[in-house]
Structure 1
């Protein structure tokens, strides 16, 4: 059934590239555990042990706060169609903002998005597969454009104001550093 691997295989890379959603799990050493669904065209495999993903502006900024406290991260994919599979990527992550050189090195890997908030780079130290036999079949209908439309309507200044009002602290009061130190 399940396997533990040191890296993303070619077959798993193809599986990841077909997925429309992934889930990100983070936690500081105290406080709440965060699990976030991520969609749109926001995930890239750089090589078998390194990925990046584009974190878009949202109602919270838990991932950033947690990574500043504890850099461990888990990413999970589920097959909702075709052959059953659950895939987890475990590793350590770094967070980059628009003010960071690394952000500008990665941002062109993704479609332009006014709501681009951070880029997360993760070094993978364990890849785990499991059966996924109980995951239901679900048909993909289409991407939601609500977040992208909202971000575009806000514009750069509106997004930055939103960050200041909604994205500077986690649910547990941890700093996110969205506006710098």
Structure 2
């Protein structure tokens, strides 16, 4: 049976720090629900009530569109080795864009900003842990390098051009404001 907490406790933080992957779920008041897997070194626990994660450029930008309309977000971690555990963080998210004053203070928490698109702060209102006894075992081999290599090849101007082509609207046609909020070149 799952257990609920009002904040993360030390074993939750330890579990999070061991994970190589997490999942982010968001939804606007209507339309499609989005669930995205995230990897790389893109997650930090700020305190027992708040986390931040770095969102790299991808083929869509659903999270930005959804959070602009409804800040609800769920982050899920899942054990693929060792003890079966599923940990969910529920809360209200705030997008931090390159043009925001606090971008610098949060972005410095991450070593690889190559292809970074937004940061998301999650103010946690509930933590839930449950068993993951039906989740299969998987072996972690290595991080994928393709996204960083792609971003290197594109350069900042190329990334902005990609945003203009692929990241301006959600699947439901909601504007993400990516170019206005995240300009990376002058």
| TM-score category of the 2 structures, normalised to the smaller one | over 0.9
Q: Does residue 50 of the first structure (1) align with residue 50 of the second (2)? A: yes
Tell me the distance in 1 between the aligned counterparts of 2:98 and 2:126: 29
Aligned twin of 1:18: 18
Q: Does residue 77 of the first structure (1) align with residue 77 of the second (2)? A: yes
Aligned twin of 1:34: 34
Ranges in structure 1 where 5+ consecutive residues have no aligned partner: none
Q: Deviations over 1:54-78 (max 9, x none)?
A: 0000000000000001000000000
Q: Deviations over 1:79-131 (max 9, x none)?
A: 00000000000000000111001111100100132200000001000000111
Q: 1:113 touches 1:148 (CA, 8 Å); kept in 2?
A: no
Alignment: residue pair count: 181
The residue correspondences of 1:6-155 to structure 2 (distance < 5 A) are: 6-155=6-155
Tell me the distance in 1 between the aligned counterparts of 2:59 and 2:10: 35
Aligned twin of 1:175: 175
TM superposition score normalised by structure 1 = 0.98
Ranges in structure 2 where 5+ consecutive residues have no aligned partner: 182-186
RMSD: 0.8
Match of 2:163, SS state, is helix
Tell me the distance in 2 between the aligned counterparts of 1:41 and 1:21: 9
Q: Deviations over 1:27-72 (max 9, x none)?
A: 0010000000000000000000000000000000000000001000
Match of 2:92, SS state, is strand
